[in-house]
């Protein structure tokens, strides 16, 4: 479990995060949502250790992130997989080389074992024959699947995803959502997704943390979000007429 307690962060005297407390459990797709400027990106970077909180505690399975020595911090980083918004694949490397990159950096294994692991994760994301292709030869959805394969190649305990559906069509976005949820459940990873995609929130949001002006304004599940009376989350999630109609239909069915 990742536990966040009373987290504060400011930049140049301007508060960005204001006393956030929450938990993220393994085997669940945990989602951070909020408008631009709500603090969700800074929150994600604090969890990743890219920003040091001004106050508060972030604990990874009982290990307080800010109190770890350098060696233990390095070990913790190796337990974290990251899917970046744009995929962040190296254009000059093949799919196989992109996925093997973390293994070369951190794993003390023969090349044959690393290649076996690469082939395993490629199969898991349904890209069995893509080893020798370059990112430019792949569709956007395939590139995201390569990014997910690279993120899980080190068998992480924690998986972070920053807008994994950015730039994808709705059908491909659904494929990526389902893949992330399947991997999370299959390997019992603690998955945290920073997203503005309300389709993803509704489909796979097993735990949702809604930030507004740096404060945790609401948290719950994708089922709770249909029946909540919290004005801030209702305005944010149901800003479109389509989602308003979906919510109305749900509430009418459950009366």
Measured CA to CA in angstroms, residue 48 lies from 14, 27, 52, 58, 81 at distances of: 21, 19, 9, 10, 10
Pairing of strands 80-83, 215-220: unpaired
Residue 42: its H or E element: helix 40-48
Tally of helices (H runs) and strands (E runs) in the chain: 10, 10
Q: What is the mean pLDDT of residues 176-185?
A: 94
In this predicted structure, the answer to whether residue 251 has a pLDDT above a threshold of 80 is no
Q: Say whether 246 sits in a helix, a strand or coil.
A: helix
27 vs 254, more confident:
27
Beta carbons within 8 Å of 174's beta carbon, 6+ residues apart: 199, 203
CATH architecture type of domain 1-79+160-217: 3-Layer(aba) Sandwich (3.40)
Which of 183, 187, 225 lies closest to 206 in space, CA to CA? 225
pTM of the model: 0.90
List where CATH 3.40.50.300 sits in the chain: 1-79+160-217
How confident is the model at residue 21, as a pLDDT? 97
How confident is the model at residue 168, as a pLDDT? 87
Cβ burial, residue 192 (10 Å; 0-12/13-18/19+): buried
> How do residues 23-64 score in pLDDT, each as one tens digit?
999 999 999 999 888 999 999 999 998 899 999 999 999 998
d(CA 212, CA 93): 40
Which of 59, 75, 212 lies closest to 156 in space, CA to CA? 75
Place of tokens 């290990």: 63
> How do residues 61-107 score in pLDDT, each as one tens digit?
999 887 888 888 888 888 999 998 877 899 999 999 999 999 998 88
Which of 133, 130, 128, 103 lies closest to 115 in space, CA to CA? 103
Mean pLDDT estimate for the chain:
91
Helix residue ranges per DSSP H, 107-230: 111-124, 140-152, 170-187, 198-204, 224-227
How confident is the model at residue 75, as a pLDDT? 86
- The share of the chain scoring above pLDDT 90, in percent, equals 67
How confident is the model at residue 255, as a pLDDT? 65
Which tokens belong to 134?
Answer: 């370059």
Radius of gyration for the alpha carbons in the chain, expressed in angstroms and rounded: 19
Which of 207, 171, 211, 202 lies closest to 191 in space, CA to CA? 207
Lowest mean pLDDT among 6-10, 127-131, 213-217: 127-131
């Amino acid at each position: 479990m990742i536990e966040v307690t009373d987290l504060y962060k400011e930049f140049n005297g301007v508060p960005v995060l204001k006393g956030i407390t929450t938990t993220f459990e393994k085997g669940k797709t945990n989602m951070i949502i909020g408008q631009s400027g709500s603090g969700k990106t800074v929150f994600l970077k604090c969890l990743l250790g890219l920003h040091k909180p001004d106050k508060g505690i972030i604990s990874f399975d009982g290990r307080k992130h800010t109190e770890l020595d350098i060696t233990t911090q390095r070990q913790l980083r190796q337990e974290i997989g990251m899917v970046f918004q744009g995929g962040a694949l190296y254009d000059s490397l093949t799919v196989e080389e992109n996925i093997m990159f973390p293994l070369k950096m951190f794993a003390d294994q023969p090349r044959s074992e690393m290649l076996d692991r690469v082939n395993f994760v490629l199969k898991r994301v349904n890209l069995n024959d893509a080893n020798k292709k370059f990112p430019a030869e792949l569709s956007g959805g395939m590139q995201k699947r390569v990014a997910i394969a690279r993120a899980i190649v080190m068998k992480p305990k924690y998986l972070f995803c920053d807008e994994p559906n950015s730039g994808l069509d709705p059908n491909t976005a659904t494929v990526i959502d389902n893949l992330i949820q399947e991997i999370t459940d299959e390997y019992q990873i603690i998955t945290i997704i920073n997203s503005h995609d309300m389709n993803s929130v509704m489909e796979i949001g097993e735990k949702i943390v809604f930030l507004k002006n740096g404060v945790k304004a609401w948290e719950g599940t994708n089922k709770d979000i249909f029946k909540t009376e919290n004005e801030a989350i209702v305005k944010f999630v149901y800003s479109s007429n389509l989602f308003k109609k979906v919510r109305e239909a749900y509430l009418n069915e459950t009366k």
